[in-house]
Amino acid sequence: MRLEVAALSHIGLVRQKNEDALGYLEPSEIKVRETKGSVFLVADGMGGHRGGEIASQLAVETIISSYFGLRETDPAEALDRAFKEANRIIIEKSQSDVSLHGMGTTCTALVFRGGEAYLAHVGDSRAYLFRDGKLDRLTEDHSLVGEMVRSGILSDEDARFHPRRNVITRSIGTHEDLLVDVSEEPIELEKGDVFVLCSDGLTSLVGESELRTVLEANAPGSACAALVDLANDHGGKDNITIQIIKVHEK
């Protein structure tokens, strides 16, 4: 299995700074890659003058270092523990600096190991799988409007424009007890699979039908650029961060 990776983060057209972060690590050592796999993450920070950008970057850095530092070989369990370590670190940082009080971040992460993918998720950043022309959302939004959609009060389309769409109900760094959504079962990879990790700066402005159309017509690198352009064409009201991973045979 070979992974083709592209990533892009853009400040958008309205915000004064970029509070999103992304990261990935594909180990060069074959033994590490076989036991731990490769990790990809997108995070969207919030809170305070500098808090959002610090929280998202801390989450990305801590989850990667913690994941690979753990002896735990089950990717789902290791991701869960790594997310909780990031939660601890961000809380400690926010308590040590009054200007950072209340900061937190979303995070959505994928681990690819062998022929399988494992997912961990907190917040309203998203993961998608594009396979055989079909786009499937792999995550549930931990947000007020996400809960309203699941209860049948709102449609997905109405949720994109709801005035309280930015109210997050679960994030890293805001509560000591963190519940992480992790894969109950790994996703069995197929040749041609395309995975997308993205912040809500994309999904609040670009519909899933538009996302599918772009993925169908473009390689990962050009798809990232096209999706950022599309979000900005629709107003660019938030930071836009996208990571696309395509699965190839060796």
- Report the alpha-carbon distance of residue 172 to residue 185 in Å, rounded: 23
Q: pLDDT of 7-52, one tens digit each?
A: 999 999 999 999 999 999 999 999 999 999 999 999 999 986 689 9
Write down the pLDDT at residue 27: 96
pLDDT digit string, tens, across residues 156-185: 766 666 656 677 899 999 999 999 999 989
Q: What is the DSSP string of 98-120?
A: GGGTT-EEEEEEEEEETTEEEEE
User: Would you state the pLDDT for residue 159?
Assistant: 67
User: Domain 2-248 belongs to what topology?
Assistant: Phosphatase 2c; domain 1 (3.60.40)
Contact 228, 12 (CB under 8 A): no
Please tell me the predicted confidence (pLDDT) of residue 162.
62
Number of CB atoms found within 10 A of residue 84's CB: 18
DSSP 10-30: E--SS-SS--EEEEEE--SSH
